[in-house]
Structure 1
């Protein structure tokens, strides 16, 4: 395995030997490290992830590598991203509530590793959606998580001094921001070296890459992403960063955390439900997915509704930061003025999230890092048909986001595209 200064990457063979003295692991697994069973389960793009099981229980050990795992050592990355992930998880738990993220047992900055709670019988949400599972809690849980973390990490809630100190701490996550800035907002719209797509999409891809309106809007969204440090973002909030059971939802993997626009996390999250919707035709080998399609669109609608309601409640009860001070509104007997300001904030957030959702859809089909919703469709022609629907949908969101007024309009467009392409 790769070495980086005093850093040593763990393996299934060395983990018990090297971490056998850690109180966090001994307490949960048992003191006899020879009885520990270690397996590497990391299937992501960046890191090593181990499940360690012992006579008493289990834990997860996640370790950053000094390069992008998906590409190899030709693409170096700083180990400090584990530092940002650790601090993001601590803040997310404080802001969204205990049980919203995995519990952290130990952090080793030098070895870029985090020991955390083993979530079982949880599965990755994306996998559950591919299997056609209609989970009852995710819209509520994720709407609350997004509203609470985004509001409470912003100048709407935090004191100016506290937020600026936090902003300074996360400002060092430069390399992972650079990945997002390039892989999400730029690379999909030209012939970047690491891009890939289903070959049958060639004509549509050429059309999108020649689309001046689309490219200009994508760069406006990149400008917003880079320049608008509104709140602490998860930075990679998609259905592969969420673990679920029927009655529990946990958000994981916030190593892309930084201060950016509130709408980015929400847009990325909703985009992944819309992509799941368009992928369903590729997963109908064992029967119709009509019910699943309806469930996914309801989830989008309910999630946005929960987000709006919780964000509005926090605005009215926890608006203690430097922005929209109550000394200008409620304390002067002008609660209506505060509500007018809230409407404006939510309206801007809505328009921006639609744009971010559109570029997220494009990068997942045309860029380097694809998602399993489409990739697990073995029939290449069928996969291309599903992806083409999503690409057209994403283009509409990016270019027309300022003229779309409700989530029902967006879901109606998704249904229209799905029906037209099936006709």
Structure 2
């Protein structure tokens, strides 16, 4: 392959990624470069290139198909452009919480960005028992600022409509619509689960009340273009250490309901909470409280100081917005927990549990928790209520 930034799309290899980095002059002439493909997701290639001084860059390239299925599941390469545009927009709002973007190329479907290898994927760290004391405070700030300033509360309605045009993302939204809101609740061939879970899953499929509530959540996802969402905000999309947090992988970005990103983060904190003993579970569940409190505090400040909507001065309106956002976040979290337990794409928090009996036990609890979050979304008023529900589920006898 002859690498050129003006050439036709072709998947990179480690050697051609190095050639591309040299062509774009990211390193001094004569530098000794090494490259490793480090992508562990389903949709992209990710190359980490460093020189002899350990100065590095990341080249991310979208694949025209989903790796988990193969070339029989084609995907648009335009998602790389959406990701680059999202990161640039987020950098104008939360520059300390997203990686720097150095270069994008729509034809090659690549984004070249800051090397974050000094940080760790939050999911991996949590599984190892680590904690990131500032992570949830940062995520609350990130959510508040990215959501407020792309909503009708913080962005002129005409400017918002123009921005929406940049983030029309039908193919990746379809993945969410199917894999989060539809397939796990029916006997779909995309589902993937242990046979020991079948009885519980069949009960879930037969629960018409549950399905009705999921249908409402799916409708909200389909129709409520409230703000620009990350669209896939889980702990595998967050780099962190004790002091820094960086959100990555926003290729699912689109305009949707404000509660969706919040619910995704809640769900992934709950995955890790399910795996912890009672003695150290609190360290993880604290992130629920801190993230929501940080979101509310920051969003309120923005509401009071930067609102462009006249009705934000109306008493009681912000409380209504928070109530509706929290309620939908709880429901979305429940859907995410169920789909990551029995759907096509799992999480290492659960799948890495051994022995098998313990993994099945925890997955049973995950299904119970997800179902209760969906059905009790109207009743759950605080993150403390979420924590109480978690404890109740863990104490239930099968």
TM-score, normalised with respect to structure 2 = 0.95
2:372 matched to which residue of 1?
396
- 1:25-104 equivalence runs, <5 A: 25-26=26-27, 30-32=28-30, 35-56=32-53, 57-96=55-94, 98-104=95-101
Offset, 1:198: 2.0
1:148 matched to which residue of 2?
145
Q: 1:65 touches 1:77 (CA, 8 Å); kept in 2?
A: yes
Equivalent residue pairs, number:
392
- Deviations for 1:139-189, whole angstroms, at most 9, x for unmatched residues? 211111111111111110111121000011112x11000000000000001
SS of 1:14's equivalent? helix
2:320 matched to which residue of 1?
344
- 1:15-414 equivalence runs, <5 A: 15-23=17-25, 25-26=26-27, 30-32=28-30, 35-56=32-53, 57-96=55-94, 98-171=95-168, 173-280=169-276, 289-320=277-308, 323-325=309-311, 329=313, 338-414=314-390
1:13 matched to which residue of 2?
15
Offset, 1:94: 1.1
What is the alpha-carbon distance in structure 2 between the residues aligned to residue 214 and residue 226 of structure 1? 18
Offset, 1:202: 1.0
2:4 matched to which residue of 1?
none
SS of 1:20's equivalent? helix
- Deviations for 1:204-245, whole angstroms, at most 9, x for unmatched residues? 011101110111111110100010000000000000000011
Offset, 1:91: 1.0
Offset, 1:190: 1.1
SS of 1:396's equivalent? helix
Describe the shift of the 1:80–1:349 C-alpha distance in structure 2 as closer, same or farther (beyond 3 A). same
Offset, 1:301: 1.1
1:283 matched to which residue of 2?
none
SS of 1:315's equivalent? helix
- Deviations for 1:327-348, whole angstroms, at most 9, x for unmatched residues? xx4xxxxxxxx34100011010
Q: 2:311 touches 2:317 (CA, 8 Å); kept in 1?
A: no
Describe the shift of the 1:369–1:102 C-alpha distance in structure 2 as closer, same or farther (beyond 3 A). same
TM-score, normalised with respect to structure 1 = 0.90
SS of 1:272's equivalent? helix
Offset, 1:8: 0.8
What is the alpha-carbon distance in structure 2 between the residues aligned to residue 340 and residue 90 of structure 1? 34
Offset, 1:267: 0.5
Worse-matched range after superposition: 255-264 or 410-419: 410-419
What is the alpha-carbon distance in structure 2 between the residues aligned to residue 421 and residue 137 of structure 1? 35
What is the alpha-carbon distance in structure 2 between the residues aligned to residue 51 and residue 170 of structure 1? 27
CA RMSD in angstroms comes to 1.5
What is the alpha-carbon distance in structure 2 between the residues aligned to residue 364 and residue 104 of structure 1? 30
What is the alpha-carbon distance in structure 1 between the residues aligned to residue 34 and residue 280 of structure 2? 37
Query: Where in structure 2 are there 5+ consecutive unaligned residues?
Result: 2-6
What is the alpha-carbon distance in structure 1 between the residues aligned to residue 354 and residue 71 of structure 2? 30
SS of 1:403's equivalent? coil
Query: Where in structure 1 are there 5+ consecutive unaligned residues?
Result: 281-288, 330-337
